[in-house]
Copies of this chain bind each other. A is one copy, B any other.
Amino acid sequence: MKKQIPLSELERRINSLRTKMEKLCPDWEMIAIFSNINLYYFTGTVQDGMLLIPRNDDAVFWVRRSYERALDESLFTRIKPMTSYREAAASMKKFPETVYMETEIVPLALYQRFQKYFPFTHVKSVDKYIAGVRAIKSSFELSLMVQAGSIHQRTLEQYVPQLLKEGISEVDLATELYSIMVTEGHHGVARFGAFGAEIVLGLVCFGDSSIYPTYFDVPGGNYGSCPAVPLLGNRYRKLKKGDLVFIDIGCGVSGYHTDKTMTYMFGKSLSQEAISAHKQCVDIQNRIAEMLKPGAVPAQIYKNTINNLSPEFLENFMGYGNRRSKFLGHGIGLLIDELPVIAEGFTEPIEEGMVFAIEPKKGIKNIGMVGTENTFIVTPNGGLCITGDNPGLIPVY
C-alpha cells in the first residue's frame, strides 16, 4: 500500500544539498527544515517535525507527530520522537552560530520559538539551495512525473471534449474533472509554494473568465467560486455556444506534478485573430521546447523569444492588459511553481533532468485566453514533452 522513496534516493538528495552548501556557503554549520514539502523530499514522509542537518554530523529527523507514521512511511535512518524543541536542543553537542532555514516558508513566530531553544545568532536562507537540488530530478522522480503527464493528457485531450455540454457551469466541470483525474491516479491536490497561493485544481474558464485578473502571477485568469474563494470555477458562468474553453490545471502522482493547459472551441469556430494568435503561441512553445537542452540559459531563452515577437503580438501576451507575467515557463516537481524560471535573471545554465512547464498564452479581447502549456523534460535532444501533443483549440461541436 505504501509507495516509499528508496533510501538510496533519500541519501542522494541530502548529499546533493551538502555538496551544494560546501560549494556555495563556506560558513554553513546547520540546516533546519520545517516545511511539509521539503520534509517529504528529504525523508519520504509528511509529518509535523524538523529535519536538522549539521555540517559535521548525521542528519536527524525529529518528529512531533506522528512518530509512528514516520517510521511506517520513511526509510530515513535517524528518526527520533520529539515533544519539544527543548528536548531536541538538549541532544546537541554544540550550537551553531548560523542556521540556514526555509525563510520563505517558516513563519516568524515559528522561527522565534525555534531560536529560543537553539540560540544561534544568524539565520540565512536555505530556500534557493534546496530549490537548486530539487530542480534536477532523478529517474525515480521523472517516472512519477511521466505518470502524472499521462493522466493529464488523457483527461484534457480525450475526456474533456466529452464533458463539454451547453449549460454546464465552470465549477461543475471543475469538480467532474477533479473526480476523473483522481480516479485515473492524480494524488488529489495541486501544490504551489508562493506565499498565499492556494489551489485545489487550477483554472477552469469559459469565455472571458480566463482574462479576469487573479491575485497570483499566472497568465490566465478566473472568476472563481466567490470573492472569498477565488479558485476552482464559477457556478453562475454556464457554457454556451461560441465560448472559448480554457483549462489550466495541475496533476500529480505521489507528490510530483505536471502542468498543462488545453483550449477548446465550443459550438463554433473562434475568429481568425484568435486562431492565429493561438497557433503562434503553440509555435513559441515548440521553439522553446527545442531549446531545452543542457547548457541553455533560461534568461537567454526568454530574451530571444520575446525579442522575436512583434509589439502587436506582445500586447496581452502572457496576461491580459497590464497583468503581463514576466516569464514563459517555470520549473515543476513537488510544487507547480519551482525554480528555475524561464525569465530574466535566471542565468545559470539548465541541466539534464530538469523539468519545465512552458506556457505561452495570449489574451483576446471579449474572447479569453488562447495558447498552450505542456511539461517537458530537459534532454540532450531538447525538451521531451510528457503531457501530450494536441495543439489545442480542440473543436467541440
CB of A331 closer than 8 Å to a CB of B: no
**Smallest Cβ distance from A191 to chain B, in angstroms?**
8
Interchain CB contact (< 8 A) of A215 among B5, B66, B103: B66
C-alpha gap A4/B227 in the complex (Å)? 8
Q: Is the Cβ of A227 less than 8 Å from the Cβ of B104?
A: no
Across-interface contacts of A172 in B (CB, < 8 A)? 179, 182-183
C-alpha gap A380/B127 in the complex (Å)? 51
Q: A1-B223, A46-B230 are in contact. Are A105 and B107 (CB under 8 A)?
A: yes
CB of A189 closer than 8 Å to a CB of B: yes
CB of A45 closer than 8 Å to a CB of B: yes
As a 0/1 sequence over residues 203 to 227 of chain A, the CB contacts with chain B under 8 angstroms (1 = contact) are: 0000000001111110000010111
Across-interface contacts of A176 in B (CB, < 8 A)? 179
CB of A301 closer than 8 Å to a CB of B: no
C-alpha gap A176/B183 in the complex (Å)? 11
C-alpha gap A321/B254 in the complex (Å)? 28
CB of A90 closer than 8 Å to a CB of B: no
Q: A108-B123, A198-B36 are in contact. Are A227 and B44 (CB under 8 A)?
A: yes
Across-interface contacts of A228 in B (CB, < 8 A)? 40, 46, 187, 252, 254-256, 334
Across-interface contacts of A323 in B (CB, < 8 A)? 65-66
**Smallest Cβ distance from A102 to chain B, in angstroms?**
8
Residue on B with the closest CB to A64? B215
Q: Is the Cβ of A3 less than 8 Å from the Cβ of B107?
A: no
Q: Among the interface residues A3, A48, A103, A229, which one has the most CB atoms of the partner chain B within 10 A?
A: A229
CB of A111 closer than 8 Å to a CB of B: yes
Q: Is the interface of A mostly helix, strand, loop or mixed?
A: loop
**Smallest Cβ distance from A289 to chain B, in angstroms?**
27
**Smallest Cβ distance from A378 to chain B, in angstroms?**
23
Binds B, one of A10-18, A231-239, A263-271, A304-312: A231-239
CB of A69 closer than 8 Å to a CB of B: yes
CB of A143 closer than 8 Å to a CB of B: no
Across-interface contacts of A73 in B (CB, < 8 A)? 227
Q: Is the Cβ of B110 less than 8 Å from the Cβ of A101?
A: no
Q: A187-B228, A228-B255 are in contact. Are A215 and B48 (CB under 8 A)?
A: yes
Interchain CB contact (< 8 A) of A68 among B123, B189, B213: B213
CB of A2 closer than 8 Å to a CB of B: yes
Q: Is the Cβ of B252 less than 8 Å from the Cβ of A212?
A: no
Interchain CB contact (< 8 A) of A214 among B1, B4, B66, B255: B66
Knowing that A44-B227, A103-B107, A175-B178 touch, tell me 19 more A-B residue pairs with CB under 8 angstroms: A4-B227, A36-B198, A46-B215, A65-B323, A66-B214, A68-B321, A69-B212, A69-B215, A69-B230, A103-B109, A107-B195, A108-B111, A110-B195, A175-B175, A178-B179, A185-B235, A188-B225, A226-B254, A229-B255
